[in-house]
Each structure stands twice: as C-alpha cells, then as structure tokens.
Structure 1
Amino acid sequence: MKLEFRQSFAKDLKGKDPETLKRLKSLIEELEDSDSLRHIANVKNLRGTDSYYRIRMGNYRLGLRQEGNKIVVLRFLHRKEIYRYFP
C-alpha cells in the first residue's frame, strides 16, 4: 500500500527509545508490503468512524486513516495519550 506521513507523526517520534523506533520501522515496512489492513496484526477500526484505525504496538498506538488505496499515518503516541489526540 502507498503510505503518507503527516508532520504530527514525525513530531511524535522525537524522544522515543531506539528499540521502539526499530519495531515501528518494521511495522511500517509491513504496511508498505501489505495489500490490505486486514493482513496486519493488531489492527482495529475505531468505533464511530469508517476510515480511522489504530495498530497496537506494546504501550504505543499508531493512528492511521485509510483513503482508498492510500494509508495516512497520523500519530504515534503512548496508549494513555492516543485517544486524546486521535482522531
């Protein structure tokens, strides 16, 4: 799938430990190679929305929006903060 990254996502990466960033990189590579979000582990649709998803990654969540065949990566925050700022 085609990925697009927002500035808020890049801002969220600052200060994260190297191990978390390494796991995030492999998750992003998996997203690029996948044909659909259904093939990715730990993906859930957010209630009340049709196109917003989150991927669980330990104590962090990756916030996504699907626009046709494109995935927009919006946020990467701790599980306590993600639902305050996303969607």
Structure 2
Amino acid sequence: MKLAYEACFEKDLKNISDKNLLKKIKSTIEEIRKTDKLSSISNLKKLRGYETFYRIRIGDYRIGIEIIEDCVIFTRVLHRKEVYRYFP
C-alpha cells in the first residue's frame, strides 16, 4: 500500500517522548506498508459514520488513518482521551 503523512501526524509524533511507543508506531507503519489487505492489519477498526476513516490501537494511543483505494493517509496519533476530538 502507498503511504502518506499529514503534517499534524508528524507533529504529533514529535510530541511523543515514550521510546517504546515510537518503536511500536514505526513497526505498525512497516506492517501497513508491507500488507495488501486491510484484514491483515492488527488492531484496525473502522469508525462508525465514516466511509474511509479507521483507527489503529497501540496501548493508550490511537493512530487515525484514512484509506482511499490503495493509499493510507496517516492523519493523527494521540492519546485515546484526545484523539476523537481532533480526528476525523
């Protein structure tokens, strides 16, 4: 799959200081890059009410993504208490 990153996603990554969490996020991004099917992405859940928006759970953090055809757009990565205020 093709990957794209929004500026706010990159900004959110810079604000995360937990090294273990950053490693998990990077491994999740690599997993998505290598896969061809949505069903093979772990902890992926479609958001109700939206056709193209999904979230990936990593501990207490959520990665907000949008999937359009074969392109995955990483939108936000925030704590679970904050993510749904800013995503989608």
Q: Secondary structure at the match of 2:15?
A: coil
RMSD: 0.7
Q: Secondary structure at the match of 1:13?
A: helix
Letter in 1 for 2:5: F
Q: Distance in 1 between matches of 2:15 and 2:69?
A: 32
Match of residue 13 from structure 1: 13
The residue aligned with 1:52 is: 53
- Displacement of 1:41 in angstroms is 1.1
- What CA distance in whole angstroms lies between the structure 1 residues aligned with 2:3 and 2:23? 18
Counterpart of 1:7, as a letter, is A
Given the two structures, how large is their TM-score scaled by the length of structure 1? 0.96
2:84 matched to which residue of 1? 83
CA drift of 1:44 comes to: 0.5
Gaps of 5+ in 2: none
Q: Distance in 2 between matches of 1:66 and 1:15?
A: 24
Percent of aligned pairs with the same amino acid: 49
Distance 2:86 2:49 in 1: 16
Which letter does structure 1 place at the counterpart of 2:47?
L
2:14 partner SS: coil
The code of the aligned residue for 2:58 comes to M
Where structure 1 has 5 or more consecutive residues not aligned to the other structure, the ranges are none
Aligned length: 87
Amino acid at match of 1:74: T
Name segments (4+ residues, structure 1) moved above 6 Å. none
